[in-house]
Structure 1
Amino acid sequence: MLKKILQGMVVGIANIIPGVSGGTMMVAMGLYDKLIHSITHLKSEFKESMKLLLPIFAGAGLAIVLLSRLFEFLLANYPIPTNFAFCGLIAGSLPFIFKKVKGHSVSVGKLIPFFIFFGIVILMAVLGENSGTAADVSFSLINVIKLFAVGIIAAATMVVPGVSGSMMLMLLGYYDTIIETINDFIDALIAFNLTEILRVFGILAPFGIGIVIGIFAIAKLIEFIFKKAEIHAYYGIIGLILASPIAILMKTDWSQFSLPLLALGIVTFIAGWFVASKLGGEE
């Protein structure tokens, strides 16, 4: 149970940071196949599915609520070692992922999804340079519908390995607003400010409902793809994952670069690799 909560926290942290993929972390820790199965078979295998989904989603939720400020601080003040740590997490996942295609010969048909999805991640990193202005989330029917739609889009990209849900929020102009709203919600709860709680709930509720619906919709699609072309799908995922560290380093603020920071980055990279080796793999 504790390991699953910790795995969920890693996924949650990944979804906070633009350029880092929560789906990649799921694959890295041997969770991806089981999570997709549990989501798509929730009704028919409710008890077994909830044993996996509850601690994972609880851990992810805890990480997003409790650590969003911490990672805002780390990215603002120590972007190089922080991003190197996530590169280490991703790189440390590769041995587990390569096992999925071991024994299958390389072919042009398998390399096509590899290069397509490798390119998608790099393209998203390039486009993500412009995060857009803060979104208008004042209470209105149109904004509620927009938040619901953004939640669906964000959820879909959060589940797909190699694609960053938080980067998608940046492209849509909602990243800063959602992070600030989560922090406002925590402050309101601590102060027990009912007026503020209701205000931020009006923002987070439609967004959250959209996320839930988006996760279930994309999980069904992914399960279908894996049934029809599992090895080709994994080649696509490998392309996504190999491109992810490149995308993260492209998004890193290098203005503070120094040899001591680079040395610290190497240490955090190794730490990330170590964590991936401990949290990864099948149980």
Structure 2
Amino acid sequence: MKFILDTIKGALIGIANVIPGVSGGTMAVSLGIYNRLISSISHLFKDFKKSIATLIPILLGCALGIVGFSYAIKYLLANQPLPTCLAFLGLILGGIPVLFKDMKEGIKKSKNGRLTAANVLAFLLLFAFAIALPLLKSSDDTLMILTATPGTMIILFFMGVIASATMVIPGVSGSMIMMILGYYYGIINSITSFIDGLKAGSISAMAAQLGILIPFGIGAVLGIFLISKLIEYLFERHTVSTYAAILGLILSSPFGIFYNTNALAHFTIPGFLIGIILFAAGGFVTWYMGRKHA
């Protein structure tokens, strides 16, 4: 049952990583598996068996979520942006009670036993950062179709490092970073084209996309591993400030979601009502699943 539950949580994290403005790291925090995920990645070689047992269902679900939702995201954001964004907003904000609980425990264990000016500053700085970041997004994604040239493959490796590192940081959307850098739709198209080639049994179609996806994937694995080490250090040495920073990122996420998808421009009463229902359902699902993290 735990394997299935972790696979579902992994799928939600994968789906979140595909949505521009939605943070996979935030989703992991909301679902109550963030610390366990970071610890397993950073201690992969030190405690291999335990780490692999933790990572397999989460990464399996994550892969399924990314591949499956790469198709759905095009339709949903084009045709139902408001209900889609409200659903994911509910999934994100539903995890705040779990985060508050962990933060309170961190405050109790801290030297001062209360919030400090440094904690508040960490919250404000990261809140402001997450608000400012979407404003950098250009109106066009300049590389909608990627070709596997040597230069592009090198760039994609570094794009993978950057995107995966930001995917792990709660409140920062890796897909939004990819949009800012101009590679979001190119990667999404490569994923869907590879799956289309796989379904058609076309080796040439798959091979053309592997030249794009392999360097990006290698960079992504390296980025996740490096940033996990950093985040684990921050949790150990600056626990409350780290939680405060994450909280600032999470509370600013509604702006990033709605700004990047332009969902409010498609406001309709039926869409809004459906979205509110999905928001409540998503919040309940995240709150309920987050309680299972212990």
> TM-score normalised by the shorter chain: which range applies?
over 0.9
Report the counterpart of residue 133 of structure 2 in structure 1: 124
Measure the CA separation in 1 of the matches of 2:138 and 2:131: 11
Of 260, 263, 269, which aligns to 2:270? 260
Q: Is contact 2:144–2:189 with CA below 8 Å preserved after alignment?
A: no
Please report how far the alpha carbon of residue 121 of structure 1 lies from its aligned counterpart in structure 2 after TM superposition: 0.9
> Is 1:168 aligned with 2:168?
no
Please report how far the alpha carbon of residue 7 of structure 1 lies from its aligned counterpart in structure 2 after TM superposition: 0.2
Q: 1:147 to 1:101 in 2, by over 3 A?
A: same
Q: Which segment drifts farther, 82-91 or 123-132?
A: 123-132
Q: Which segment drifts farther, 30-39 or 126-135?
A: 126-135
Measure the CA separation in 1 of the matches of 2:11 and 2:213: 20
Measure the CA separation in 1 of the matches of 2:177 and 2:19: 11
Measure the CA separation in 1 of the matches of 2:13 and 2:75: 19
Q: What is the letter of the counterpart of residue 98 of structure 1?
A: F
- Kindly report the root-mean-square deviation, in angstroms, between the aligned alpha carbons of the 2 structures: 1.3
Q: Is contact 1:5–1:58 with CA below 8 Å preserved after alignment?
A: yes
Q: Which segment drifts farther, 131-140 or 79-88?
A: 131-140
Query: What are the superposed Cα offsets for residues 186-219 of structure 1, whole Å, 9 maximum, x if unpaired?
Result: 1100111111111101110000000000000101
Report the counterpart of residue 62 of structure 2 in structure 1: 60
Please report how far the alpha carbon of residue 237 of structure 1 lies from its aligned counterpart in structure 2 after TM superposition: 0.4
TM-score, normalised on structure 1?
Answer: 0.96
Please report how far the alpha carbon of residue 131 of structure 1 lies from its aligned counterpart in structure 2 after TM superposition: 4.5
Q: Is contact 1:148–1:210 with CA below 8 Å preserved after alignment?
A: yes
Q: Identity of paired residues, percent? A: 43
Measure the CA separation in 2 of the matches of 1:131 and 1:56: 33
Measure the CA separation in 2 of the matches of 1:84 and 1:136: 30
Report the counterpart of residue 98 of structure 1 in structure 2: 100
Aligned residues: 283
Please report how far the alpha carbon of residue 135 of structure 1 lies from its aligned counterpart in structure 2 after TM superposition: 5.6
Consecutive unaligned residues of structure 2, counting only runs of 5 or more, are: 108-113
Q: Is contact 1:116–1:236 with CA below 8 Å preserved after alignment?
A: yes
Q: What is the letter of the counterpart of residue 255 of structure 1?
A: A
Measure the CA separation in 1 of the matches of 2:37 and 2:164: 14
TM-score, normalised on structure 2?
Answer: 0.93
Measure the CA separation in 1 of the matches of 2:150 and 2:73: 32
Equivalent residues in 2 for 1:1-283 (5 A)? 1-102=3-104, 104=107, 105-128=114-137, 130-134=139-143, 137-251=146-260, 252-281=262-291, 282-283=293-294
Query: What are the superposed Cα offsets for residues 85-140 of structure 1, whole Å, 9 maximum, x if unpaired?
Result: 11111111000000122163222111111011101111112222534312663222
Measure the CA separation in 2 of the matches of 1:60 and 1:116: 30
Consecutive unaligned residues of structure 1, counting only runs of 5 or more, are: none
